[in-house]
Amino acid sequence: MGTKPKALLLGKLDHAQETWNGLSPIAELVTSRARSRAEFIDECIRGAHDGVVAICDRAPSSFAATGRYDAELIAALPSTVRFICHNGAGYDSIDVPACTARGILVSHCPKVVDDATADTAMFLILAALRGFNNGILAIRAGVWKSPVPPPPLGHDPQGKTLGILGLGGIGRNLKRKAEVFGMKILYHNRTKPGDETMADGAEYVGFDDLLARSDVLSLNLPLNPKTRNIISTNEFNKMKKGIIIVNTARGGVMDEEALVEAINSGRVLSVGLDVYQQEPNIHPGLVSNPHVCLLPHMGTSTVETKTKMEECTIGNVRAALEKGTLNTVVPEQAHLAANL
Ligand SMILES: *[C@@H]1O[C@H](CO)[C@@H](O)[C@H](O)[C@H]1NC(C)=O
CA angle 172–14–65, rounded 5-degree value: 95
Selecting among 250, 267, 310, 318, the annotated active-site residue is 250
- Cα(209) to ligand 1 centroid in Å equals 18
Average pLDDT on 62-71 reads 96
- Cα(237) to ligand 1 centroid in Å equals 26
Which domains are seen in the chain, by residue range?
Answer: 6-88+304-338 (3.40.50.720), 114-294 (3.40.50.720)
Q: What are the C-alpha distances in Å from 173 to residues 187, 231, 274?
A: 13, 22, 17
Percent of the chain with pLDDT over 90: 91
C-alpha span between 218 and 200 (Å, rounded):
17
Task: Output the pLDDT for position 123.
Answer: 98
Q: Which residues contact 20 (CB under 8 A, 6 or more apart)?
A: 9, 13, 29, 56, 314
Does the annotation mark 297 as catalytic?
Answer: yes
- Cα(334) to ligand 1 centroid in Å equals 15
Of 201-205, 257-261, 328-332, give the lowest mean pLDDT range: 201-205
- The rounded mean pLDDT for the chain is 96
Selecting among 15, 130, 213, 297, the annotated active-site residue is 297
* Closest C-alpha among 129, 147, 127, 128 to residue 137: 147
**What digits encode the pLDDT tens for the residues 281-322?**
999 999 999 999 999 999 999 999 999 999 999 999 999 999
Protein residue with least CA distance to atom 8, ligand 1: 168
Query: Is residue 112 a contact partner of residue 314, using CB atoms and an 8 Å limit?
Result: no
Does the annotation mark 188 as catalytic?
Answer: no
Task: Output the pLDDT for position 197.
Answer: 79
pLDDT band at 1 (very low <50, low <70, confident <90, very high): very low
Protein residue with least CA distance to atom 2, ligand 1: 191
Protein residue with least CA distance to atom 9, ligand 1: 168
pTM of this prediction? 0.96
CA angle 254–260–263, rounded 5-degree value: 105
Protein residue with least CA distance to atom 4, ligand 1: 191
Percent of the chain with pLDDT over 70: 98
pLDDT band at 193 (very low <50, low <70, confident <90, very high): low
Query: Is residue 92 a contact partner of residue 106, using CB atoms and an 8 Å limit?
Result: no
Beta bridge partners of 186: 163, 203
The residues lining ligand 1, judged by C-beta closer than 6 Å to any ligand atom, are 167-168, 189, 191, 193, 198-199
Of 90-104, 141-155, 252-266, give the lowest mean pLDDT range: 141-155
Tell me the best of 196, 198, 227, 328 to mutate to test the pocket of ligand 1, counting ligand atoms within 8 Å of each CB and taking the most.
198
Average pLDDT on 95-116 reads 98
